[in-house]
Amino acid sequence: MPVFTDEFIERVRNANDIVEIIGQEVQLKRSGQNYIGLCPFHSEKTPSFSVSPDKQMYYCFGCHAGGTVFNFVMETAKISFPEAVRTLAMRANIPLPEDASISPADRARQKERQLLLRVTHWATDFFHSQLRRSPIARDARAYLENRGLTPALIEAMKLGFALPDWSGLIKAAQRNQIPMPALAKLGLIIPRKQHGYYDRFRNRVIIPIADERGRVVAFGGRALDDSQPKYLNSPENPLFNKGRLLFGLHRANTAINRAGVAVLVEGYMDCLSAWQHGVEHVVASLGTALTLSQARLLKRYTNQVILCYDADSAGMRAALRGIDVSVQAGLQVKVASLPAGEDPDDCLRRRGLDFFIDEVLGKAKSAVDYQLDMLRREYPLNEPEGKARFVTAAVTVLSRLNNEVAKNAYAQQLARELQVPEQAVLAELAKQSRMGDKDGNSRNTRDMSPTIELDQDPVLQGCQIAEDKLLSLVINNLVEAEEVLLAWQELDVYAYPVDRQVVKLLLNELQKGKTLDIRRLIEQFEGEEVGQRLAQIAWAESFELDNPVVVAGDCLGKLKQLAIRQAISEAEKRLRNEKDAVQRKLLLQELQLLLEKQKGLRH
Protein backbone atom coordinates (compact mmCIF):
# COMPACT_ATOMS: atom_id res chain seq x y z
CA MET A 1 0.00 0.00 0.00
CA PRO A 2 1.47 3.39 -0.95
CA VAL A 3 2.46 6.03 1.56
CA PHE A 4 0.26 9.02 0.73
CA THR A 5 1.41 12.61 0.40
CA ASP A 6 -0.09 15.34 2.57
CA GLU A 7 -1.70 16.87 -0.53
CA PHE A 8 -3.41 13.59 -1.44
CA ILE A 9 -4.66 13.10 2.14
CA GLU A 10 -6.12 16.63 2.16
CA ARG A 11 -7.84 15.99 -1.17
CA VAL A 12 -9.46 12.79 0.14
CA ARG A 13 -10.48 14.48 3.39
CA ASN A 14 -12.17 17.34 1.53
CA ALA A 15 -14.01 14.91 -0.77
CA ASN A 16 -15.70 13.03 2.09
CA ASP A 17 -18.20 15.02 4.13
CA ILE A 18 -17.99 13.87 7.73
CA VAL A 19 -21.73 14.25 8.38
CA GLU A 20 -22.52 11.98 5.44
CA ILE A 21 -19.91 9.37 6.42
CA ILE A 22 -20.91 9.23 10.09
CA GLY A 23 -24.60 9.38 9.17
CA GLN A 24 -24.22 5.97 7.53
CA GLU A 25 -23.32 4.50 10.94
CA VAL A 26 -25.08 6.79 13.43
CA GLN A 27 -28.59 8.24 13.38
CA LEU A 28 -27.87 11.96 13.50
CA LYS A 29 -30.25 14.79 14.32
CA ARG A 30 -29.69 18.50 13.67
CA SER A 31 -28.99 20.53 16.82
CA GLY A 32 -28.08 24.14 16.12
CA GLN A 33 -25.03 24.27 13.89
CA ASN A 34 -24.09 20.66 14.64
CA TYR A 35 -25.57 17.16 14.51
CA ILE A 36 -25.99 14.90 17.55
CA GLY A 37 -26.54 11.18 18.06
CA LEU A 38 -25.79 8.22 20.29
CA CYS A 39 -22.06 7.58 20.47
CA PRO A 40 -20.96 4.50 18.48
CA PHE A 41 -17.92 4.04 20.73
CA HIS A 42 -19.61 3.60 24.11
CA SER A 43 -23.05 2.67 25.42
CA GLU A 44 -25.31 5.60 26.33
CA LYS A 45 -28.98 6.55 26.49
CA THR A 46 -28.68 10.32 26.10
CA PRO A 47 -26.84 11.58 22.99
CA SER A 48 -23.43 13.03 23.80
CA PHE A 49 -21.88 12.49 20.36
CA SER A 50 -21.68 15.60 18.19
CA VAL A 51 -20.62 16.18 14.56
CA SER A 52 -19.63 19.58 13.18
CA PRO A 53 -20.04 20.17 9.43
CA ASP A 54 -18.06 23.42 9.74
CA LYS A 55 -15.04 21.89 11.48
CA GLN A 56 -15.45 18.53 9.73
CA MET A 57 -14.85 16.89 13.11
CA TYR A 58 -16.72 14.78 15.65
CA TYR A 59 -16.46 14.70 19.43
CA CYS A 60 -18.12 12.66 22.20
CA PHE A 61 -18.56 14.45 25.53
CA GLY A 62 -19.06 11.08 27.21
CA CYS A 63 -16.02 8.99 26.23
CA HIS A 64 -13.96 11.84 24.66
CA ALA A 65 -13.54 10.08 21.32
CA GLY A 66 -12.96 12.69 18.65
CA GLY A 67 -11.27 13.48 15.38
CA THR A 68 -11.68 13.77 11.64
CA VAL A 69 -13.37 11.57 9.07
CA PHE A 70 -10.20 9.43 8.95
CA ASN A 71 -10.30 8.86 12.72
CA PHE A 72 -13.93 7.76 12.49
CA VAL A 73 -13.26 5.24 9.73
CA MET A 74 -10.15 3.91 11.50
CA GLU A 75 -12.06 3.44 14.74
CA THR A 76 -15.26 1.91 13.36
CA ALA A 77 -13.61 -0.33 10.76
CA LYS A 78 -10.59 -1.17 12.96
CA ILE A 79 -8.16 -0.33 10.19
CA SER A 80 -4.93 1.66 9.91
CA PHE A 81 -4.61 5.24 8.72
CA PRO A 82 -3.35 4.31 5.20
CA GLU A 83 -6.25 1.84 4.89
CA ALA A 84 -8.71 4.57 5.91
CA VAL A 85 -7.26 6.93 3.29
CA ARG A 86 -7.51 4.20 0.65
CA THR A 87 -11.14 3.38 1.63
CA LEU A 88 -12.29 7.01 1.48
CA ALA A 89 -10.36 7.71 -1.73
CA MET A 90 -12.12 4.81 -3.46
CA ARG A 91 -15.48 6.00 -2.09
CA ALA A 92 -14.88 9.44 -3.62
CA ASN A 93 -13.62 7.95 -6.92
CA ILE A 94 -10.19 9.48 -6.42
CA PRO A 95 -7.52 7.38 -8.19
CA LEU A 96 -4.91 5.96 -5.86
CA PRO A 97 -1.39 7.16 -6.56
CA GLU A 98 1.21 4.82 -7.95
CA ASP A 99 4.29 4.08 -5.86
CA ALA A 100 6.15 6.55 -8.07
CA SER A 101 3.98 9.32 -6.66
CA ILE A 102 5.34 8.80 -3.16
CA SER A 103 7.01 12.01 -2.08
CA PRO A 104 10.80 12.01 -1.67
CA ALA A 105 10.33 12.66 2.07
CA ASP A 106 8.02 9.66 2.45
CA ARG A 107 10.38 7.46 0.45
CA ALA A 108 13.25 8.56 2.70
CA ARG A 109 11.21 7.68 5.80
CA GLN A 110 10.49 4.21 4.41
CA LYS A 111 14.18 3.66 3.71
CA GLU A 112 15.15 4.91 7.17
CA ARG A 113 12.63 2.60 8.83
CA GLN A 114 14.02 -0.43 6.99
CA LEU A 115 17.55 0.52 8.07
CA LEU A 116 16.52 0.99 11.71
CA LEU A 117 14.83 -2.43 11.77
CA ARG A 118 18.03 -4.02 10.47
CA VAL A 119 20.03 -2.22 13.17
CA THR A 120 17.72 -3.35 16.00
CA HIS A 121 18.01 -6.91 14.68
CA TRP A 122 21.81 -6.64 14.74
CA ALA A 123 21.81 -5.08 18.23
CA THR A 124 19.53 -7.85 19.54
CA ASP A 125 21.94 -10.50 18.29
CA PHE A 126 24.94 -8.61 19.70
CA PHE A 127 23.46 -8.23 23.21
CA HIS A 128 22.28 -11.86 23.18
CA SER A 129 25.70 -13.16 22.16
CA GLN A 130 27.33 -11.17 24.98
CA LEU A 131 24.98 -12.75 27.52
CA ARG A 132 25.74 -16.25 26.25
CA ARG A 133 29.50 -15.99 25.71
CA SER A 134 31.11 -13.07 27.54
CA PRO A 135 32.89 -13.89 30.83
CA ILE A 136 31.88 -10.40 32.03
CA ALA A 137 28.20 -11.43 31.75
CA ARG A 138 28.52 -13.87 34.66
CA ASP A 139 26.50 -11.62 37.01
CA ALA A 140 23.82 -11.12 34.35
CA ARG A 141 23.43 -14.86 33.84
CA ALA A 142 23.27 -15.37 37.62
CA TYR A 143 20.63 -12.64 37.92
CA LEU A 144 18.38 -14.28 35.32
CA GLU A 145 18.89 -17.68 36.93
CA ASN A 146 17.94 -16.24 40.33
CA ARG A 147 14.80 -14.76 38.76
CA GLY A 148 13.88 -18.29 37.71
CA LEU A 149 14.14 -17.71 33.96
CA THR A 150 15.13 -20.85 32.07
CA PRO A 151 17.62 -21.01 29.18
CA ALA A 152 14.71 -21.83 26.87
CA LEU A 153 12.85 -18.59 27.67
CA ILE A 154 16.07 -16.56 27.59
CA GLU A 155 16.77 -17.94 24.12
CA ALA A 156 13.19 -17.47 22.90
CA MET A 157 13.10 -13.82 24.01
CA LYS A 158 16.72 -13.17 22.95
CA LEU A 159 17.55 -11.62 26.33
CA GLY A 160 20.98 -10.05 26.34
CA PHE A 161 23.68 -8.20 28.22
CA ALA A 162 25.15 -4.71 27.75
CA LEU A 163 28.85 -4.53 28.58
CA PRO A 164 30.00 -2.16 31.37
CA ASP A 165 32.21 -0.46 28.78
CA TRP A 166 31.05 3.03 27.74
CA SER A 167 31.67 2.11 24.11
CA GLY A 168 31.15 -1.66 23.94
CA LEU A 169 28.25 -1.40 21.49
CA ILE A 170 29.94 1.37 19.52
CA LYS A 171 33.11 -0.68 18.94
CA ALA A 172 31.09 -3.69 17.79
CA ALA A 173 29.01 -1.49 15.49
CA GLN A 174 32.13 -0.01 13.92
CA ARG A 175 33.51 -3.50 13.28
CA ASN A 176 30.24 -4.43 11.57
CA GLN A 177 29.86 -1.16 9.64
CA ILE A 178 26.68 -0.19 11.48
CA PRO A 179 26.10 3.55 10.97
CA MET A 180 26.38 5.66 14.14
CA PRO A 181 23.50 8.00 13.16
CA ALA A 182 21.13 4.99 13.04
CA LEU A 183 22.22 3.83 16.51
CA ALA A 184 21.75 7.40 17.77
CA LYS A 185 18.29 7.64 16.18
CA LEU A 186 17.30 4.48 18.06
CA GLY A 187 18.69 5.89 21.30
CA LEU A 188 21.20 3.06 21.67
CA ILE A 189 24.04 5.56 21.78
CA ILE A 190 24.05 9.15 23.05
CA PRO A 191 26.04 12.09 21.61
CA ARG A 192 28.79 13.46 23.85
CA LYS A 193 28.92 17.21 24.50
CA GLN A 194 32.13 17.68 22.52
CA HIS A 195 32.21 14.93 19.88
CA GLY A 196 31.56 11.22 19.53
CA TYR A 197 29.06 9.00 21.33
CA TYR A 198 28.71 6.70 24.34
CA ASP A 199 26.52 3.64 24.97
CA ARG A 200 23.12 4.23 26.59
CA PHE A 201 22.94 0.72 28.08
CA ARG A 202 25.88 -0.32 30.27
CA ASN A 203 26.16 -3.29 32.65
CA ARG A 204 22.52 -4.18 32.22
CA VAL A 205 20.43 -7.20 31.36
CA ILE A 206 18.83 -6.32 28.03
CA ILE A 207 15.21 -7.16 27.18
CA PRO A 208 14.29 -6.68 23.49
CA ILE A 209 10.93 -4.95 23.04
CA ALA A 210 9.06 -6.16 19.97
CA ASP A 211 6.03 -4.80 18.16
CA GLU A 212 2.82 -6.73 17.45
CA ARG A 213 4.52 -8.50 14.53
CA GLY A 214 7.51 -9.58 16.61
CA ARG A 215 9.98 -7.05 15.16
CA VAL A 216 12.36 -5.59 17.75
CA VAL A 217 11.80 -1.82 17.92
CA ALA A 218 13.38 -0.89 21.28
CA PHE A 219 15.17 -2.27 24.33
CA GLY A 220 14.74 -2.31 28.08
CA GLY A 221 17.66 -2.58 30.46
CA ARG A 222 17.74 -3.86 34.05
CA ALA A 223 20.72 -2.58 36.10
CA LEU A 224 22.98 -5.10 37.82
CA ASP A 225 24.22 -2.69 40.49
CA ASP A 226 22.93 0.30 42.45
CA SER A 227 25.05 2.93 40.70
CA GLN A 228 22.36 3.69 38.12
CA PRO A 229 18.55 3.62 37.84
CA LYS A 230 17.11 0.11 38.12
CA TYR A 231 15.25 0.21 34.78
CA LEU A 232 16.05 2.09 31.59
CA ASN A 233 14.14 1.93 28.31
CA SER A 234 14.96 3.13 24.82
CA PRO A 235 13.59 6.59 24.11
CA GLU A 236 10.78 6.87 21.59
CA ASN A 237 12.05 6.72 18.03
CA PRO A 238 10.66 6.27 14.50
CA LEU A 239 10.00 2.58 15.30
CA PHE A 240 8.91 2.85 18.93
CA ASN A 241 5.99 4.64 20.55
CA LYS A 242 5.54 3.12 24.00
CA GLY A 243 1.94 4.35 24.26
CA ARG A 244 0.97 2.22 21.25
CA LEU A 245 2.80 -0.99 22.13
CA LEU A 246 2.23 -3.79 24.62
CA PHE A 247 5.26 -5.81 25.63
CA GLY A 248 4.91 -9.49 24.75
CA LEU A 249 1.75 -9.23 22.65
CA HIS A 250 3.43 -10.94 19.69
CA ARG A 251 4.07 -13.97 21.94
CA ALA A 252 0.94 -13.89 24.11
CA ASN A 253 -1.76 -13.23 21.51
CA THR A 254 -2.53 -16.91 20.88
CA ALA A 255 -2.77 -17.63 24.61
CA ILE A 256 -5.01 -14.57 25.07
CA ASN A 257 -7.34 -15.82 22.35
CA ARG A 258 -7.39 -19.27 23.94
CA ALA A 259 -8.02 -17.97 27.49
CA GLY A 260 -10.56 -15.35 26.40
CA VAL A 261 -8.91 -12.80 28.70
CA ALA A 262 -5.64 -10.85 28.89
CA VAL A 263 -3.74 -10.19 32.11
CA LEU A 264 -2.05 -6.80 32.07
CA VAL A 265 0.99 -6.15 34.27
CA GLU A 266 3.23 -3.08 34.53
CA GLY A 267 6.74 -4.26 33.67
CA TYR A 268 8.47 -6.71 31.37
CA MET A 269 10.07 -8.65 34.26
CA ASP A 270 6.57 -9.32 35.65
CA CYS A 271 5.54 -10.50 32.19
CA LEU A 272 8.58 -12.76 31.75
CA SER A 273 8.06 -14.25 35.22
CA ALA A 274 4.41 -15.01 34.46
CA TRP A 275 5.33 -16.77 31.21
CA GLN A 276 8.04 -18.74 32.99
CA HIS A 277 5.49 -19.96 35.55
CA GLY A 278 3.06 -21.02 32.82
CA VAL A 279 0.71 -18.00 32.80
CA GLU A 280 1.03 -17.21 29.11
CA HIS A 281 -1.88 -14.80 28.50
CA VAL A 282 0.05 -11.87 30.04
CA VAL A 283 1.29 -8.63 28.48
CA ALA A 284 2.87 -5.50 29.98
CA SER A 285 2.31 -1.78 29.49
CA LEU A 286 6.04 -1.02 29.89
CA GLY A 287 5.72 0.59 33.30
CA THR A 288 3.46 3.39 32.09
CA ALA A 289 -0.21 4.08 32.68
CA LEU A 290 -2.38 2.17 30.22
CA THR A 291 -3.17 4.28 27.16
CA LEU A 292 -6.32 4.16 25.07
CA SER A 293 -4.24 3.05 22.10
CA GLN A 294 -2.87 0.09 24.08
CA ALA A 295 -6.36 -0.85 25.29
CA ARG A 296 -7.75 -0.74 21.76
CA LEU A 297 -4.84 -2.86 20.57
CA LEU A 298 -5.74 -5.43 23.23
CA LYS A 299 -9.41 -5.27 22.15
CA ARG A 300 -8.43 -6.86 18.83
CA TYR A 301 -7.65 -10.09 20.70
CA THR A 302 -10.09 -10.19 23.62
CA ASN A 303 -13.06 -8.47 25.22
CA GLN A 304 -11.81 -8.99 28.78
CA VAL A 305 -8.78 -7.76 30.70
CA ILE A 306 -7.54 -8.29 34.26
CA LEU A 307 -5.35 -5.47 35.59
CA CYS A 308 -2.65 -6.92 37.84
CA TYR A 309 -0.56 -3.99 39.04
CA ASP A 310 1.85 -3.63 41.95
CA ALA A 311 0.32 -3.54 45.44
CA ASP A 312 1.40 0.03 46.22
CA SER A 313 -0.19 3.46 45.91
CA ALA A 314 1.20 4.00 42.41
CA GLY A 315 -0.18 0.64 41.32
CA MET A 316 -3.60 1.47 42.73
CA ARG A 317 -3.69 4.80 40.91
CA ALA A 318 -2.63 3.05 37.70
CA ALA A 319 -5.45 0.53 38.17
CA LEU A 320 -8.06 3.29 38.55
CA ARG A 321 -6.78 4.98 35.41
CA GLY A 322 -6.66 1.61 33.65
CA ILE A 323 -10.32 0.99 34.47
CA ASP A 324 -11.43 4.21 32.75
CA VAL A 325 -9.26 3.56 29.70
CA SER A 326 -10.33 -0.09 29.38
CA VAL A 327 -14.01 0.84 29.56
CA GLN A 328 -13.51 3.53 26.90
CA ALA A 329 -11.97 0.88 24.65
CA GLY A 330 -14.98 -1.39 25.16
CA LEU A 331 -13.20 -3.93 27.37
CA GLN A 332 -14.75 -5.71 30.33
CA VAL A 333 -12.28 -5.07 33.13
CA LYS A 334 -11.42 -6.67 36.46
CA VAL A 335 -8.69 -5.77 38.94
CA ALA A 336 -6.56 -8.35 40.73
CA SER A 337 -5.18 -7.53 44.19
CA LEU A 338 -1.70 -8.73 45.14
CA PRO A 339 -0.40 -9.19 48.69
CA ALA A 340 0.84 -5.90 50.20
CA GLY A 341 4.19 -4.74 48.88
CA GLU A 342 4.42 -7.36 46.14
CA ASP A 343 4.46 -7.21 42.37
CA PRO A 344 3.39 -10.15 40.16
CA ASP A 345 6.96 -11.46 39.94
CA ASP A 346 7.38 -11.38 43.75
CA CYS A 347 4.05 -13.13 44.23
CA LEU A 348 4.78 -15.91 41.75
CA ARG A 349 8.25 -16.63 43.13
CA ARG A 350 7.28 -16.46 46.80
CA ARG A 351 3.83 -18.02 46.75
CA GLY A 352 3.74 -20.12 43.60
CA LEU A 353 1.53 -20.57 40.57
CA ASP A 354 -1.51 -22.00 42.37
CA PHE A 355 -1.76 -19.02 44.72
CA PHE A 356 -1.40 -16.58 41.82
CA ILE A 357 -4.08 -18.34 39.75
CA ASP A 358 -6.56 -19.02 42.57
CA GLU A 359 -6.08 -16.14 45.02
CA VAL A 360 -4.97 -13.31 42.74
CA LEU A 361 -6.46 -13.79 39.26
CA GLY A 362 -9.29 -16.02 40.45
CA LYS A 363 -10.48 -13.42 42.97
CA ALA A 364 -10.09 -10.38 40.72
CA LYS A 365 -12.83 -7.85 41.43
CA SER A 366 -15.10 -6.09 39.01
CA ALA A 367 -14.21 -2.50 38.20
CA VAL A 368 -17.05 -1.17 40.36
CA ASP A 369 -16.16 -3.32 43.37
CA TYR A 370 -12.52 -2.28 43.13
CA GLN A 371 -13.39 1.42 42.86
CA LEU A 372 -15.71 1.17 45.86
CA ASP A 373 -12.95 -0.55 47.84
CA MET A 374 -10.59 2.33 47.07
CA LEU A 375 -13.21 4.81 48.25
CA ARG A 376 -13.70 2.88 51.49
CA ARG A 377 -10.02 3.39 52.22
CA GLU A 378 -10.26 7.09 51.51
CA TYR A 379 -13.21 8.16 53.66
CA PRO A 380 -13.74 7.73 57.45
CA LEU A 381 -16.94 5.67 57.39
CA ASN A 382 -17.33 5.86 61.17
CA GLU A 383 -18.11 9.59 60.88
CA PRO A 384 -21.34 11.07 59.43
CA GLU A 385 -19.46 13.46 57.14
CA GLY A 386 -17.22 10.64 55.94
CA LYS A 387 -20.26 8.50 55.12
CA ALA A 388 -21.88 11.35 53.21
CA ARG A 389 -18.76 12.03 51.14
CA PHE A 390 -18.32 8.31 50.48
CA VAL A 391 -21.91 7.98 49.22
CA THR A 392 -21.48 11.00 46.93
CA ALA A 393 -18.31 9.52 45.44
CA ALA A 394 -19.76 6.00 45.28
CA VAL A 395 -22.88 7.01 43.36
CA THR A 396 -20.62 8.75 40.83
CA VAL A 397 -19.11 5.33 40.17
CA LEU A 398 -22.50 3.59 40.10
CA SER A 399 -24.04 6.18 37.78
CA ARG A 400 -21.71 4.98 35.00
CA LEU A 401 -23.34 1.54 35.04
CA ASN A 402 -25.75 0.98 32.17
CA ASN A 403 -27.67 -1.78 33.98
CA GLU A 404 -30.40 -0.39 36.28
CA VAL A 405 -30.70 -3.69 38.18
CA ALA A 406 -26.99 -3.61 38.98
CA LYS A 407 -27.23 0.04 40.07
CA ASN A 408 -30.04 -0.72 42.50
CA ALA A 409 -28.33 -3.85 43.82
CA TYR A 410 -25.19 -1.87 44.63
CA ALA A 411 -27.28 0.88 46.22
CA GLN A 412 -28.94 -1.69 48.51
CA GLN A 413 -25.55 -3.16 49.39
CA LEU A 414 -24.14 0.26 50.30
CA ALA A 415 -27.19 1.12 52.41
CA ARG A 416 -26.78 -2.08 54.44
CA GLU A 417 -23.05 -1.57 54.83
CA LEU A 418 -23.38 2.05 56.00
CA GLN A 419 -26.56 1.43 58.01
CA VAL A 420 -28.38 4.25 56.27
CA PRO A 421 -31.84 4.19 54.63
CA GLU A 422 -31.74 2.63 51.19
CA GLN A 423 -33.90 5.46 49.89
CA ALA A 424 -31.17 7.97 50.79
CA VAL A 425 -28.63 6.19 48.59
CA LEU A 426 -31.16 5.79 45.76
CA ALA A 427 -31.99 9.50 45.99
CA GLU A 428 -28.31 10.42 45.61
CA LEU A 429 -28.05 8.02 42.68
CA ALA A 430 -31.11 9.56 41.01
CA LYS A 431 -29.69 13.05 41.52
CA GLN A 432 -26.39 12.00 39.97
CA SER A 433 -28.19 10.44 37.00
CA ARG A 434 -30.18 13.65 36.42
CA MET A 435 -26.97 15.66 36.51
CA GLY A 436 -25.44 13.26 34.00
CA ASP A 437 -28.41 13.63 31.66
CA LYS A 438 -28.29 17.40 31.98
CA ASP A 439 -24.57 17.51 31.30
CA GLY A 440 -24.70 15.07 28.39
CA ASN A 441 -24.79 17.81 25.78
CA SER A 442 -23.21 20.62 27.74
CA ARG A 443 -20.00 19.29 29.23
CA ASN A 444 -17.30 21.87 28.73
CA THR A 445 -13.70 21.36 27.78
CA ARG A 446 -12.61 20.88 31.38
CA ASP A 447 -14.33 17.49 31.52
CA MET A 448 -11.31 15.65 30.15
CA SER A 449 -10.48 12.81 32.47
CA PRO A 450 -13.26 11.85 34.89
CA THR A 451 -11.99 10.10 38.00
CA ILE A 452 -13.57 8.88 41.21
CA GLU A 453 -12.34 11.84 43.22
CA LEU A 454 -13.14 15.11 41.47
CA ASP A 455 -10.68 17.71 42.75
CA GLN A 456 -12.60 20.77 43.92
CA ASP A 457 -9.42 22.77 44.58
CA PRO A 458 -10.10 26.23 43.07
CA VAL A 459 -6.42 26.80 42.21
CA LEU A 460 -6.23 23.53 40.29
CA GLN A 461 -9.55 24.20 38.56
CA GLY A 462 -8.33 27.67 37.60
CA CYS A 463 -5.19 26.14 36.11
CA GLN A 464 -7.22 23.61 34.14
CA ILE A 465 -9.22 26.47 32.61
CA ALA A 466 -5.97 28.35 31.97
CA GLU A 467 -4.50 25.37 30.11
CA ASP A 468 -7.65 25.06 27.99
CA LYS A 469 -7.37 28.74 27.08
CA LEU A 470 -3.64 28.59 26.33
CA LEU A 471 -4.02 25.63 23.97
CA SER A 472 -7.02 27.26 22.29
CA LEU A 473 -5.02 30.47 21.77
CA VAL A 474 -2.11 28.50 20.33
CA ILE A 475 -4.02 26.29 17.89
CA ASN A 476 -6.17 29.22 16.70
CA ASN A 477 -3.04 31.31 16.01
CA LEU A 478 -4.15 34.12 18.33
CA VAL A 479 -0.75 34.44 20.03
CA GLU A 480 2.92 33.83 19.25
CA ALA A 481 2.61 30.07 19.72
CA GLU A 482 6.26 29.12 20.20
CA GLU A 483 6.85 31.92 22.73
CA VAL A 484 3.82 30.90 24.82
CA LEU A 485 4.65 27.19 24.69
CA LEU A 486 8.28 27.76 25.67
CA ALA A 487 7.20 29.88 28.64
CA TRP A 488 4.79 27.12 29.70
CA GLN A 489 7.42 24.42 29.26
CA GLU A 490 9.86 26.40 31.39
CA LEU A 491 7.31 26.50 34.24
CA ASP A 492 7.07 22.69 33.95
CA VAL A 493 3.66 22.50 35.60
CA TYR A 494 0.56 20.87 34.15
CA ALA A 495 -2.90 20.66 35.71
CA TYR A 496 -3.68 18.07 33.04
CA PRO A 497 -0.70 15.63 32.94
CA VAL A 498 -1.32 14.95 29.24
CA ASP A 499 -0.59 18.61 28.44
CA ARG A 500 3.12 17.99 29.05
CA GLN A 501 3.11 15.73 25.95
CA VAL A 502 0.87 18.14 24.03
CA VAL A 503 3.19 21.11 24.66
CA LYS A 504 6.24 19.05 23.67
CA LEU A 505 4.51 17.86 20.48
CA LEU A 506 3.37 21.33 19.39
CA LEU A 507 6.79 22.85 20.11
CA ASN A 508 8.45 20.09 18.11
CA GLU A 509 6.19 20.85 15.14
CA LEU A 510 6.91 24.58 15.32
CA GLN A 511 10.66 24.13 15.76
CA LYS A 512 10.72 21.96 12.63
CA GLY A 513 9.27 24.95 10.78
CA LYS A 514 5.84 23.35 10.34
CA THR A 515 2.51 25.08 10.73
CA LEU A 516 0.23 23.58 13.38
CA ASP A 517 -2.08 21.30 11.43
CA ILE A 518 -4.23 20.07 14.32
CA ARG A 519 -6.34 17.74 12.18
CA ARG A 520 -3.22 15.96 10.96
CA LEU A 521 -1.92 15.58 14.52
CA ILE A 522 -5.27 14.22 15.73
CA GLU A 523 -5.15 11.63 12.94
CA GLN A 524 -1.52 10.82 13.72
CA PHE A 525 -2.27 10.19 17.40
CA GLU A 526 -5.51 8.26 16.90
CA GLY A 527 -6.45 6.31 20.04
CA GLU A 528 -3.96 8.09 22.29
CA GLU A 529 -4.60 10.54 25.09
CA VAL A 530 -2.67 13.24 23.21
CA GLY A 531 -4.99 12.84 20.24
CA GLN A 532 -8.04 12.99 22.50
CA ARG A 533 -6.81 16.17 24.14
CA LEU A 534 -6.13 17.86 20.81
CA ALA A 535 -9.57 16.83 19.54
CA GLN A 536 -11.15 18.24 22.68
CA ILE A 537 -9.44 21.61 22.31
CA ALA A 538 -10.06 21.76 18.56
CA TRP A 539 -13.74 21.02 19.14
CA ALA A 540 -14.24 23.69 21.79
CA GLU A 541 -15.32 27.10 20.62
CA SER A 542 -12.41 29.54 20.56
CA PHE A 543 -12.52 32.04 23.39
CA GLU A 544 -13.88 35.50 22.62
CA LEU A 545 -10.99 37.74 23.70
CA ASP A 546 -10.23 41.43 23.37
CA ASN A 547 -6.52 40.99 24.08
CA PRO A 548 -5.22 37.43 23.58
CA VAL A 549 -1.67 38.34 24.64
CA VAL A 550 -2.87 39.65 28.01
CA VAL A 551 -5.03 36.57 28.50
CA ALA A 552 -2.08 34.29 27.73
CA GLY A 553 0.00 36.16 30.32
CA ASP A 554 -2.76 35.79 32.91
CA CYS A 555 -3.02 32.06 32.18
CA LEU A 556 0.73 31.57 32.56
CA GLY A 557 0.48 33.49 35.84
CA LYS A 558 -2.07 31.00 37.14
CA LEU A 559 0.22 28.13 36.20
CA LYS A 560 3.09 29.86 37.99
CA GLN A 561 0.90 29.94 41.12
CA LEU A 562 0.46 26.20 40.84
CA ALA A 563 4.20 25.68 40.30
CA ILE A 564 5.02 27.67 43.44
CA ARG A 565 2.37 25.85 45.45
CA GLN A 566 3.83 22.51 44.39
CA ALA A 567 7.32 23.73 45.32
CA ILE A 568 6.03 24.81 48.75
CA SER A 569 4.43 21.41 49.28
CA GLU A 570 7.69 19.67 48.35
CA ALA A 571 9.74 21.94 50.64
CA GLU A 572 7.36 21.30 53.55
CA LYS A 573 7.64 17.56 52.97
CA ARG A 574 11.45 17.70 52.97
CA LEU A 575 11.38 19.85 56.11
CA ARG A 576 9.24 17.29 57.94
CA ASN A 577 11.71 14.53 57.10
CA GLU A 578 14.94 16.49 57.68
CA LYS A 579 16.72 15.92 61.02
CA ASP A 580 19.91 17.93 60.49
CA ALA A 581 19.62 21.41 62.08
CA VAL A 582 21.68 23.17 59.38
CA GLN A 583 19.66 21.62 56.56
CA ARG A 584 16.40 22.48 58.36
CA LYS A 585 17.49 26.12 58.56
CA LEU A 586 18.26 26.19 54.83
CA LEU A 587 14.91 24.58 54.06
CA LEU A 588 13.10 27.13 56.22
CA GLN A 589 14.79 29.93 54.28
CA GLU A 590 13.80 28.30 50.99
CA LEU A 591 10.23 27.90 52.21
CA GLN A 592 10.07 31.54 53.31
CA LEU A 593 11.20 32.72 49.87
CA LEU A 594 8.56 30.55 48.20
CA LEU A 595 5.84 31.86 50.51
CA GLU A 596 6.86 35.44 49.69
CA LYS A 597 6.71 34.64 45.97
CA GLN A 598 3.28 33.12 46.45
CA LYS A 599 2.10 36.19 48.34
CA GLY A 600 3.46 38.47 45.60
CA LEU A 601 1.51 36.62 42.91
CA ARG A 602 -1.75 37.12 44.79
CA HIS A 603 -1.44 40.89 44.77
Of 346-355, 479-488, 501-510, 582-591, which range is least confident? Answer: 582-591
Longest Cα pair distance anywhere in the chain, in angstroms?
A: 78
Q: Per-residue pLDDT tens for 477-520?
A: 777 888 899 999 988 888 888 899 999 999 988 888 888 888 88
Structural domain 458-602, CATH architecture: Orthogonal Bundle (1.10)
Q: Residues 74, 78, 79, CA angle at the centre, nearest 5°?
A: 60
Give the strand order in the sheet containing 34-37.
29-31, 34-37, 49-52, 57-60, 66-67
Q: CATH homologous superfamily for 6-101?
A: Zinc finger, CHC2-typedomain (3.90.580.10)
Percent of residues, the chain, with pLDDT higher than 70: 92
Q: Please check the confidence at residue 571 and state whether its pLDDT lies above 90.
A: no
Structural domain 104-240, CATH architecture: Alpha-Beta Complex (3.90)
Same fold, 6-101 and 458-602: no
pLDDT of residue 550: 86
Q: Please check the confidence at residue 27 and state whether its pLDDT lies above 60.
A: yes
Q: Report, as an integer, the average pLDDT of 539-545.
A: 65
Q: Could you tell me the residue ranges of all domains in the chain? A: 6-101, 104-240, 244-370, 379-439, 458-602
Quick one: DSSP state of residue 445? T
Predicted structure pTM score: 0.62
Report how far residue 514's alpha carbon sits from residue 301's, in angstroms, rounded to the nearest whole number: 38
Question: 387: part of which helix (H) or strand (E)?
Answer: helix 384-398
Q: Per-residue pLDDT tens for 303-321?
A: 899 999 988 888 888 898 8
Q: Report, as an integer, the average pLDDT of 539-564.
A: 78
Q: Per-residue pLDDT tens for 154-201?
A: 999 999 999 999 999 999 999 999 999 999 999 999 999 888 999 999
pLDDT of residue 458: 64
Q: Report, as an integer, the average pLDDT of 407-413.
A: 87
Q: Report, as an integer, the average pLDDT of 402-406.
A: 78
Q: Per-residue pLDDT tens for 118-160?
A: 999 999 999 999 999 999 999 999 999 999 999 999 999 999 9
**Top-confidence range, 99-103, 130-134, 284-288, 582-586:** 130-134
**Confidence class of residue 102 from pLDDT cuts 50, 70 and 90?**
low
Please say whether the beta carbons of 571 and 598 come within 8 A. Answer: no
Beta-carbon contacts of residue 84 (< 8 Å; ≥ 6 apart): 70, 73, 74, 77
CATH topology of domain 244-370: Dna Topoisomerase Vi A Subunit; Chain: A, domain 2 (3.40.1360)
